[in-house]
Every structure is written in structure tokens, then in C-alpha cells.
Amino acid sequence: MKVSRGLKILCRLVMLSFLVLWAAPSWAKMNILASFPQDAAIVKAIAKDKADVKSLTLASQDPHAIQLKPNLAVMLNRTDLLIVNGQDMELAWLPTALTNARNAKILEGAPGYLNPSEGVELIAYSPEELLSTPFFTTNIIAGTQSAGGGRVSVVRGNHHYWLDPANGLIVARNITAKLVEMDPQNANFYQNNLQQFEATLKEHITKWDAMMEPLKGTPIVTYHRDWIYLIKRHDLKHMGYIEPRETIPPSAAEVAALVQKIKAQKVRLILTSPWQNLRIPKEIARQTGVTHLVLPSSVGEDVGVKDYIDLFDVVYGKLTSTLKGLK
């Protein structure tokens, strides 16, 4: 029985289509969500057009107290990879959104979940800093039962680790490893983009460190504990927080005590982020004559920052010009 030439061609086309479908990844583009825009910005630098990347939040929002809206669960339901900040930053809102989303593949421990802070040297909170604060795991310092029956201390690390730009290198490597794991066909693409991102960021870090070198030892006060990684990196002299404990507003007595300390220690700068209560630092600045500087602490059009490297260009540009003016 002879088979027509047209039928042979049709059979070959059908077989070819099956081969193409078999060889293609399970998605045309990965849907990736990050809890916060700084991680979304790093993902975009690595994944580029291979993924649809969004942040669940804005840079101008308080990251600890995001308002739960139905669209969060909808977005989470449709995502392939969830990138969290971790260290309890999302504790007040993300677990509930994930429960409502009903997407098992992005739960902690599942293949579609990533905490990119692994390998970061976290600055530990003291028990006093977290006492009775609502946005952190309870019983943080008391400890948990170990397999051997003893007590193991559980110390929560400060979750604003991305504000040391060197930690952005660690985050980018962890994100790249997860992208390669989930989409191995594009491994070279992701790894090449990582190399470019690392080279650019390292070049900028050298420049930023040189800008900050003459300012070592400058005494400053911050509102929240978000700038502590940057302060540590550049050996600034941190003289205190407006918030006596994490996320807890100060009492009138605590504000009065801080005003006296600022005057006595000749502090010249109060550093805050856009999402914080700016009324209090403005009043302290009025009473003491200290300069109050608001710096963006994440990425987004709402704070005038286009990507992760631009974040630090803005931060270091404003910070060094302000500190040099004070000196």
C-alpha cells in the first residue's frame, strides 16, 4: 500500500510538533512574585524577558503592615515562584494571603518558594528590641525544644539586610540558582545575566565605599532599624532609634530623652524612610536643630528609584552630600 507524499509530510509535521512541545518548558514565561520591590528588581535583572515579574507591595508602603486585599490571593494563585524577604518581614500579612491563594507549589518548602537571604550575615535583634512587638514571631528568644531534649535559642535576624548593597550580590546568586533549577533550558541566559549584574554592582560598591570613607564615625539617629546594615558597613556612629522597640511608637518621655541625647552627643542627622511616621522626626529636628533626611529604602516609581543599583545611587548621593554639608 502506497502512502501519498502529502500524508508523509503531514505525519512528519505532527511528529515535529510533538517534539517541540516535549522539548519546551512547562511555561512560556514564568510568573514570578516577590514580596517586596527590591527583590523583584533583582529578579528582573537576571530573568529579563524570560519571566513576568511583579512585586506584591510598593516601596512607599510599610513592609510590616501591608493591607490584605483580595487581589493578593489572586496574584499568588497564578504564580510559579514566590520570592520572600523572610525573617518575619511578611508575618502580618503573607501567611493569610497564601492560605487564601490555595497554591501549594509556592508554600515554604515547596519548589516554587525562595527565601534568598541564605548566606547573608544577619544582624541579630536583642530580646528588648522585639518585646511585645506585633509583627514578629512570639517567643523569639526563649528557644525551642531540640531533638535531644535540650533548649535551642532562636534569634531573629534584622530583616532589612538588602540595605547593605553587598548583600544584593548574595540575593542575586540565590535567585539565579532557583531560576536555573526551575528553568534549566535557560541556565546559561540566567548565569550570564548574573555575571553582568555582579560586575556592575561590584563596580558601584567600590565607588560608594569611597564616597562614604571620609564620613566614618559620623553620629546619626534613625527612626527604625532599617538602616543598620548600611550604618555598620560604613562605620557610622549610631546613637539611637526614635522607635524604642521595633515598630512601637515612642512615648512623649522617650522622645524627650532622645532630644536630650541628641543635644548632648551633638548628633547632626536623623535618617528615616518614606513609609515611616515623619511627624515625630520632624518635631525632634525642630527642637534640636538636627537635619532630618528621608531616603528611599526600596525600589519603585513611587519613591523615584528605577532599580536596585539606582536605589543606592540615590541613597549614597543624598546621604554623602547631606553629611558633607553638615561637616
Q: How confident is the model at residue 150 (pLDDT cuts 50, 70, 90)?
A: very low
- Do the domain assignments include residue 79? yes
Please state whether 271 falls in left (phi above 0), alpha (psi between -120 and 50) or beta: beta
Residues 319 and 263 in one domain: yes
Q: Which range among 18-32, 111-125, 232-246 shows the weakest confidence by mean pLDDT? A: 18-32
More confident residue, 85 or 155: 85
**136 within a domain of the structure (yes/no):** no
Does one domain contain both 40 and 118?
yes
Q: Is the pLDDT assigned to residue 48 strictly greater than 90?
A: yes
Q: Is residue 131 part of a domain?
A: no
| Four-point Cα dihedral 211, 216, 219, 222, nearest 10 | 50
Q: What is the DSSP string of 67-84?
A: PP-HHHHHHHHT-SEEE-
The answer to whether residue 21 scores a pLDDT higher than 50 is: no
Specify whether 196 is located in the same domain as 264. Answer: no
Residue at 311 is within a domain: yes
Please tell me the distance from the alpha carbon of residue 229 to that of residue 226, in angstroms, as a whole number. 8
Contacts 24+ apart (CB under 8 A), 321-327: 322/269, 322/291, 322/293, 323/215, 323/218, 323/269, 324/214, 324/215, 326/218, 326/268, 326/269, 326/291, 327/215, 327/218
CATH code of the domain in which 54 resides: 3.40.50.1980
Provide the whole-model pTM: 0.86
Domain that holds residue 311: 205-326
- Assess whether 242 and 165 both reside in one domain: no
With respect to residue 16, please indicate whether it lies within any of the assigned structural domains. Answer: no
198 plus 292 within the same structural domain = no
Task: Report how many domains make up the chain.
Answer: 2
Band of residue 326 on the pLDDT scale cut at 50, 70, 90:
confident
Binning pLDDT at 50, 70 and 90, where does residue 230 land? very high
| Residue-level pLDDT at 98 | 97
Biggest alpha carbon–alpha carbon distance for the chain: 102
**Residue with the three cell numbers 548583600:** 167
- 212 and 195 assigned to the same domain: no
Check: CB of residue 72 under 8 Å from CB of residue 96: no
Query: Are 189 and 221 part of one and the same domain?
Result: no
Lowest mean pLDDT among 59-63, 122-126, 171-175, 205-209: 122-126
Residues 87-125: tens digit of each pLDDT: 999 999 999 999 999 999 999 999 999 999 999 999 998
List helix spans (H) across 24-138.
Answer: 37-47, 70-77, 94-101
β-bridge partners, 245: 248
**Residue 124 CB neighbours (<10 A):** 11
71 and 210 in a single domain? The answer is no
Per the listing, cell 529578579 goes with 43
If asked whether residues 197 and 49 sit together in one domain, one would say yes
Same domain, 39 and 86: yes
Asked if residues 180 and 25 have their Cβ atoms less than 8 Å apart, the reply is no
Task: State whether 216 and 109 are in the same domain.
Answer: no
Claim to verify: residue 110 and residue 178 sit in the same structural domain: yes
Q: Per the domain annotation, does 68 fall within a domain?
A: yes
pLDDT at 155: 61
217 pLDDT more than 60 = yes
Work out whether strand 113-114 and strand 144-145 pair parallel, antiparallel, or are unpaired: unpaired
